[in-house]
Amino acid sequence: MSVRHSEASRLGEGAPTPRGSNTHSAAVLCVVCVLGSLLELSAGCPSVCVCNLTEADCSGRGLTALPPLALLPSSTHTLLLPNNHLSALPPSAFANLSSLERLDLSNNYLDNLPGGLFRELANLSALSLRNNSLTALDRDLLQGLGQLRRLDLSLNGLSAVPLGLLDETQGLTWLSLAGNRLHALERAAFEPLANLQTLRLGANPWECDCNLRDFKHWIEWLLYRGGRVDALECTLPKDLRGRDIRGVPIEISPSSAQPSRRRPRLMRRGSAADCVKQRYRPVSVRRAIGTVVIAGVVCGIVCIMMVAAAAYGCIYASLMAKYQRELKKRQPLMGDAEADGDAEDKQISSVA
Ligand SMILES: *[C@@H]1O[C@H](CO)[C@@H](O)[C@H](O)[C@H]1NC(C)=O
Ligand SMILES: *[C@@H]1O[C@H](CO)[C@@H](O)[C@H](O)[C@H]1NC(C)=O
Ligand SMILES: *[C@@H]1O[C@H](CO)[C@@H](O)[C@H](O)[C@H]1NC(C)=O
Ligand SMILES: *[C@@H]1O[C@H](CO)[C@@H](O)[C@H](O)[C@H]1NC(C)=O
């Protein structure tokens, strides 16, 4: 709009036309235009968006780049950008928007987000990246989002959740990873989520072999403390297809019990070896083993000391006996000494 108006006015001024009134109206239009854009700047609402005091709604405007957001009023808590054509965002896209609490970027074509993109959004509590084209996430993507409660990453092409991604989002209560390309997840990536209540994992090609075992144990812990997890259906191995992982005893799943039948897959991923190496061993078992080892070492030391003490006693006793005998031989007339020697002899034999 504004561009068209200013072009019109420039044309009006530049062309040597006798139609003064036309030039005049163009100039008026231009002034209105400038005033309008000044007002817009002071309000801070980009022209393609609709704003009120707390919300900026830029959804479904066919945007391929972000509108100027830096001047959104600091009372803006909600920024809606869904249903556009955004495919990339600059690293400082959301700088200066620290008052945001809800950011919706769903239904776009985002395929690669820079690490630290949301760093300034310390008050953000809900973030949606649903239905984009994300295939990998930078492990620093969620840096600074200490207040995040809801994170929607569903309907993307994610094949992994990098270790460390969720380290700073320990307050998450709701997380969706549904509709991605996940076949396994690492338990350690999810350990920080001590407050999680709902986890959506459906519509992923889960491979129910031992690589998923630790994560399965984490899921069981989440359920145990009252969390909710939706369906988690196995895609592989074939004989478990469609079964829920929670009902599958992975410890004796076919991939480890009957390796010959699954040879091609196992060879491809080398999971047979992994399974043996990464056998799940809870902390308590490791501690128990440690205790046994320490106890064994202590017992051994005590035994050696007892043997040494006994040997010392024997040697001492025999030496003393020999000494006393020699003493008797040399001084046969000292009766008192003899008596003493007898007493000592008795003591020594009782010690031995
Ligand atoms: C802003 O608009 C949204 C819907 O467009 C509405 O839910 C919200 O209450 C409005 N806020 C204010 C302060 O008017
Ligand atoms: C953020 O705001 C500061 C001052 O308020 C300004 O200097 C800076 O350019 C802004 N950054 C962005 C990315 O808009
Ligand atoms: C973040 O939220 C807190 C509590 O609601 C508020 O006091 C603080 O001003 C907010 N920070 C910003 C930058 O809006
Ligand atoms: C995902 O986004 C595309 C393009 O934005 C849209 O056409 C499609 O309907 C969306 N799908 C869902 C399930 O929302």
- Which pLDDT belongs to residue 186? 94
- Report the C-alpha gap between 268 and 113 in whole angstroms: 31
- What spacing in Å lies between the alpha carbon of 82 and ligand 3's midpoint? 25
For 233-284, write each residue's pLDDT tens digit: 898 888 888 888 888 776 644 444 444 444 333 333 444 445 544 444 555 5
- What spacing in Å lies between the alpha carbon of 248 and ligand 3's midpoint? 46
Which of 51-65, 179-193, 282-296 is least confident? 282-296
Extended strands (E) in 136-271:
150-152, 174-176, 198-200, 206-207, 228-229, 234-236
For 303-321, write each residue's pLDDT tens digit: 678 878 777 776 778 888 8
* Residue nearest (by alpha carbon) to ligand 1 atom 14: 52
Q: Which ligand is closest in space to the CA of residue 80? A: 1
Q: Which atom of ligand 2 is nearest to the CA of 92?
A: 13
Q: What is the mean pLDDT of the chain?
A: 77
Query: Residue 244 gets which letter from DSSP?
Result: B
Q: Ligand 3 — pocket residues by CB below 6 A?
A: 98-99, 123
Q: Which atom of ligand 2 is nearest to the CA of 70?
A: 14
- Domain map of the chain by residue range? 1-43, 51-278, 284-351
**Ligand 2 neighbour 74 (Cβ under 6 A):** no
- The confidence band for 9, taking pLDDT boundaries of 50, 70 and 90, is very low
Average pLDDT over residues 91-108: 94
Fold of 51-278: 3.80.10
Which of 85-94, 105-114, 314-323 is least confident? 314-323
Average pLDDT over residues 190-198: 96
Residue 1 vs residue 145, higher pLDDT? 145
Beta bridge partners of 103: 79, 127
Cβ contacts of 11 within 8 Å, gap of 6 or more: 26
- What spacing in Å lies between the alpha carbon of 117 and ligand 1's midpoint? 26
For 31-78, write each residue's pLDDT tens digit: 444 444 444 444 589 999 999 999 999 999 999 999 999 888 889 999
- The sign one gets for the Cα dihedral 40, 44, 49, 53 is negative
Taking 70 as the threshold, does the pLDDT of residue 205 lie above it?
yes
- What spacing in Å lies between the alpha carbon of 55 and ligand 1's midpoint? 6
- Which pLDDT belongs to residue 68? 92
Q: Ligand 1 — pocket residues by CB below 6 A?
A: 52-55, 57
**Ligand 2 neighbour 231 (Cβ under 6 A):** no
**Ligand 2 neighbour 96 (Cβ under 6 A):** yes
pTM: 0.67
Considering the chain, what percentage of its residues have pLDDT values greater than 70?
A: 70
**Ligand 4 neighbour 107 (Cβ under 6 A):** yes
* Residue nearest (by alpha carbon) to ligand 4 atom 2: 107
Residue 264 vs residue 133, higher pLDDT? 133
Per-residue exposure over 325-344, b if at least 16 CB sit within 10 Å of its own CB, e if not: eeeeeeeeeeeeeeeebeee
Residue of 99, 124, 145, 148 with the most ligand 3 atoms within 8 Å of its CB, for mutation = 99
Residue 194 vs residue 24, higher pLDDT? 194
Structure tokens belonging to residue 115: 């690490």
Taking 60 as the threshold, does the pLDDT of residue 227 lie above it?
yes
- The confidence band for 334, taking pLDDT boundaries of 50, 70 and 90, is low
Coil, strand, or helix at residue 25?
helix
Taking 50 as the threshold, does the pLDDT of residue 188 lie above it?
yes
Structure tokens belonging to residue 118: 């949301």
